[in-house]
């Protein structure tokens, strides 16, 4: 009885600590949301007030008027979705090759691939990459913001490690039934890897959605800029002192990543806790 009571008490303590940690991490988003629906006099009031007083939606309309925010949101969405799918396709195919086939130089090429993870790409590669993009005539185009990021060593490594956990008996059974290598990939490996692919999708989409430096460099016109650049433009505009408008733009920019995580959270958690295959 005493052991049961102690276990119940520890459970309550852990739950309270997790709730406190969750509230602490969510506090900045909650503060941004409150500021986004309040007039300027509320935002700059002293002492600061943390409870909203009505809904001032004009901040959201102003955010879309200061810059072409809607167009920039569509730009970011197109770029993020394309990069995510590109990384998943290239990462899956490369991981499948490294995990299920033995070819000359496979180990050496895989080690070289892993070595690229230690290269700070945005610092080391940005100048030569821009020179290549300029020679191809891709400056101020979607190609410049998508093509260079459609392959990922991280994706290849994580998916390879996951594919190695799939029992070899599955492949043997598929081969006996007459399945080709690609049929085994599409009908066995990929369905068994849904949690890992969902986790990779969230990570890749978030990375692509939050890109700032590269889109700012290669996108010269406002109609080609992304949402992260749009927020910086709003901060630098005349309304830079109106934090209600800035927070409204920030909340709108957060929504796609939050919605994606909301719909894929179950699969994302599974990808962190294990592959879901026993034996």
Report the predicted TM-score, pTM, of the whole model to 2 decimal places. Answer: 0.84
Task: Report pLDDT digits (tens) over 76-116.
Answer: 999 999 999 999 999 999 999 999 888 888 889 999 988 88
- Predicted pLDDT at 225: 92
State the DSSP string of the chain: -HHHHHHHHHHHHHHHHHHHHHHHHHHHHHHHHHHHTS-HHHHT-SS---S--S--THHHHHHHHHS-HHHHHHHHHHHHHHHHHHHHHHHHHHHHHHHH---TTHHHHHHHHHHGGGS-HHHHTHHHHHHHHHHHT-TTSHHHHHGGGS--HHHHHHHHHHHTTS-HHHHHHHHHTT--HHHHIIIIIHHHTHHHHHHHHHHHHHHHHT--HHHHHH--SGGG--HHHHHHHHHHSGGGG-HHHHHHHHHHHHHHHHHHHHHHHHHHHHHHH--S---
Arithmetic mean of pLDDT over the chain: 85
Which carries the bigger pLDDT value, residue 29 or residue 90?
Answer: 90
Task: Report pLDDT digits (tens) over 218-242.
Answer: 988 888 999 999 998 888 875 557 8
């Amino acid at each position: 009885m005493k052991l049961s009571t102690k276990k119940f008490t520890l459970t309550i303590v852990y739950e309270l600590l997790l709730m406190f940690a969750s509230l602490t991490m969510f506090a900045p988003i909650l503060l941004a949301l409150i500021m986004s629906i309040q007039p300027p006099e509320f935002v700059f009031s002293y002492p600061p007030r943390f409870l909203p007083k009505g809904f001032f939606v004009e901040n959201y309309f102003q955010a879309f008027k200061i810059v072409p925010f809607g167009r920039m949101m569509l730009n970011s969405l197109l770029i993020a979705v394309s990069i995510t799918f590109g990384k998943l396709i290239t990462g899956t195919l490369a991981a499948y090759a490294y995990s299920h086939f033995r070819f000359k130089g496979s180990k050496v090429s895989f080690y070289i691939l892993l070595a690229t993870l230690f290269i700070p790409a945005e610092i080391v590669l940005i100048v030569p990459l821009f020179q290549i993009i300029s020679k191809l005539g891709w400056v101020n185009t979607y190609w410049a913001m998508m093509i260079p990021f459609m392959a990922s060593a991280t994706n290849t490594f994580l998916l390879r490690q996951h594919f190695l956990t799939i029992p070899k008996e599955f492949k043997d059974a598929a081969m006996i039934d007459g399945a080709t290598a690609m049929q085994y990939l599409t009908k066995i490996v990929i369905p068994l890897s849904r949690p890992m692919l969902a986790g990779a999708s969230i990570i890749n989409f978030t990375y692509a959605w939050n890109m700032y430096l590269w889109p700012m460099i290669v996108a010269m016109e406002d109609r080609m800029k992304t949402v992260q650049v749009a927020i910086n433009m709003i901060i630098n505009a005349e309304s830079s002192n109106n934090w209600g408008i800035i927070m409204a733009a920030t909340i709108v920019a957060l929504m796609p990543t939050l919605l994606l995580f909301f719909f894929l959270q179950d699969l994302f958690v599974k990808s962190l806790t294990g592959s879901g295959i026993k034996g």
